[in-house]
Amino acid sequence: MYILIMILLISLLVLVHELGHFCVAKMFKFKIDRFGFGLPFGPVLWEKKIGDVTYCIHAFLLGGYVAFPDDDPDSPLAEDDPGRFKNKPLLQRALVIAAGVTANAILAIVIVIGVALFTQGIPTNNHKIFIKELTKEIPNARLAGFLPGDRILTVNNIEIKSFMEFNKILQANKSNNGYVSDENYENQLQNIIKANSELYTKLGFNLNNIDLKNFENIVVPSSTIIKVPIPKPLPALIPDLEDPFSSPIVLPESAKLTSYELNLKKAIINGKFAGNGETTFGDLARSTADGKHLLTIGVERDSKIVNINVSPNTDGYIGFKPKVEDIYEPTTNTQQTLVGSYNYLYKNTYYMVLGLYKIFTGQVNVKDLHGIVAITKVGGDIIKDKGMRDGWLLTALISIDLAIVNLLPIPALDGGHLLFLFIESLRGRPVEEKYQEAISKYGFLFLIGLMLLIVFNDIIGLVTSKF
């Protein structure tokens, strides 16, 4: 039921997009053969010709189109007819093409303002995070002293504004995450020296004057048992909390343990390592220096602030089920409504543009790209769990995203058509039709390939319960 509602909402966005093209084309008296709602294949549910235009509804929603005579090589309309798309002034053609994304942008604004007016509040993307219950499987939070009902306020004196920020810090501080800073490495090397002081004295080292740079390259004697202590909890690592697309990994790739060091770590049994005549003291220190990270989490409990020290496990969890509440900006008057709606749209639009930039620059893994299947599933869950207010707001954001993506200068998208018109304005004549067709064909193939990849990611996400 909820997924069906989400499908209808997304279909509304497509319909509005195509109506944008249609209405502006009609305003400038373009000839239009057909206006279709739905994907142009499969059964036709309804069809009727009104005036010169045939209107139809296809069985497969989530699509739509406006068909001009120019799209049909067998059209009886004369090539020099003033109603043909190609014979209209360049500005009018550009306005028709841009009308779709404009309609989506206007719809998003109307939806957000409407939600703000009727509900008298708009989400700020910030949250109140409470501990709903402690888990038995991961005892870290329970042993540290957290209690159900605690509200998380800070981590290491940094104010936590959203669940995304809190989760990102936890992921950045996984225990034994395989990344070692120079400082942690030197500390662990000193720990190993202290734990094996008698051995080093026998080997002729002066423990009061050990040069770490020289000592790290010394090979552990064969069959010699070395004590390898567990390092003390490491300082917290704080990732970039402003950028939702940035990795939680703080340390550079050069700080990552090598496969040799990871295997060496497994060879340490009960805190002891048997020398093999190859491994250096530096190898031992580096392979065991990633340890746990200590977080100091400030919670509100009975109107008091309590600071609790805890370390996430190897998966970045501390062992509780959260209760996350949205923080809303009040919109009880006209000024608050307009300001709140603007803030909401501006912030989320900025994140969308930033996300696209990171996708095209390779900063976002293609495995993280998702599309209509994921949106429908997530949207249905949001409507089910939070109601239609959040469903409408998600629809507004999808509408903005649809507008932004369609403006990309990729052939077969609105942005690609606008690019051809821009080139025409510079050249003083259109790009030759054979070149337009060839470029558009490859652009279409690119989009099909991208769509298949995204659908594959969506299916994998559903199977693995990613969303």
Digit-by-digit pLDDT tens for the chain (467 residues) are: 788 888 889 889 999 999 999 999 999 999 999 999 887 877 888 999 998 899 999 888 778 889 999 888 888 888 888 999 999 999 999 999 999 999 999 999 999 999 999 999 999 989 999 999 999 999 999 999 999 999 999 999 999 999 999 999 999 999 999 999 998 999 998 888 888 877 766 666 665 666 667 778 888 888 888 899 988 898 899 999 988 888 899 999 999 999 999 999 888 888 898 888 889 889 999 999 998 999 999 999 999 999 999 999 999 999 999 999 999 999 999 999 999 999 999 999 999 898 888 888 888 777 777 777 778 878 888 888 888 999 999 999 999 999 999 999 988 789 999 999 999 899 888 888 777 777 777 777 777 777 777 766 666 665 555 55
64 inside domain? no
Residues 257, 130, single domain; the answer is yes
What is the reported pLDDT for 461? 62
Query: What are the structure tokens assigned to 358, written together?
Result: 């990171």
The beta-carbon contacts of 349-354 under 8 Å, at least 24 apart in sequence, are 349/400, 349/404, 351/244, 352/397, 352/400, 352/401, 352/404, 353/404, 354/243, 354/245
**Count of beta carbons in the 10 Å neighbourhood of residue 303:** 5
Residues 425, 396, single domain; the answer is yes
Helix, strand or coil, per DSSP, at residue 187? helix
Query: Are 321 and 135 spatial neighbours (Cβ–Cβ below 8 Å)?
Result: yes
Helix, strand or coil, per DSSP, at residue 345? helix
174 inside domain? yes
Residues 108, 231, single domain; the answer is no
For residue 387, give the DSSP letter: -
Residues 271, 131, single domain; the answer is yes
Q: Which helix (H) or strand (E) holds 280?
A: none
Residues 230, 94, single domain; the answer is no
Q: What is the DSSP string of 86-149?
A: GGS-HHHHHHHHHHHHHHHHHHHHHHHHHHHHHHSEEEEEEEEEEEEEE-SS--HHHHHT--TT
Burial classification of residue 378, based on how many CB atoms lie within 10 Å of its CB (0-12 exposed, 13-18 middle, 19 or more buried): middle
Query: Are 375 and 398 spatial neighbours (Cβ–Cβ below 8 Å)?
Result: yes
Residues 336, 453, single domain; the answer is yes
pTM: 0.84
Query: What are the structure tokens assigned to 369, written together?
Result: 């790209």
Residues whose CB is less than 8 angstroms from the CB of residue 438 and which lie 6 or more positions away in sequence, other chains included: none
335 inside domain? yes
Alpha-helical (H) ranges within 231-311 are 259-266, 281-287
Residues 265, 226, single domain; the answer is yes
Residues 254, 147, single domain; the answer is yes
65 inside domain? no
Residue with tokens 């490495």: 185
403 inside domain? yes
End position of a domain, from candidates 228, 256, 287: 287
Residue with tokens 């989320």: 348
Residues 131, 217, single domain; the answer is yes
What is the reported pLDDT for 206? 62
- Closest Cα to residue 231, out of 158, 300, 176? 176
Q: What is the DSSP string of 223-266?
A: T-EEE-PPPPPBPP----SS-TTS-S--S-GGGBPPHHHHHHHH
Q: How many domains does the chain have?
A: 2
Q: Please give the sequence-ordered ranges of beta strands (E in DSSP) within 267-337, or none if there are none.
A: 272-274, 295-301, 304-310, 320-330
- Closest Cα to residue 151, out of 310, 309, 297, 296? 297
Residues 164, 245, single domain; the answer is yes
What is the reported pLDDT for 103? 97
Domain of residue 157 covers: 126-287
Phi, psi of 113, deg, nearest 5: -65, -40
309 inside domain? no
Residues 143, 277, single domain; the answer is yes
5 inside domain? no
CA angle 161, 367, 13 (to 5 degrees): 70
What's the rounded Cα separation, in Å, for the pair 106 and 108?
Answer: 5
Query: Are 169 and 155 spatial neighbours (Cβ–Cβ below 8 Å)?
Result: yes
Q: Within 13 Å and on the Cβ side, how many CA atoms surround 463?
A: 6
What's the rounded Cα separation, in Å, for the pair 376 and 454?
Answer: 13
Give per-residue pLDDT as tens, 185-203: 999 988 888 888 777 666 6
Residues 110, 95, single domain; the answer is yes
End position of a domain, from candidates 287, 322, 346: 287
232 inside domain? yes
End position of a domain, from candidates 267, 287, 307: 287
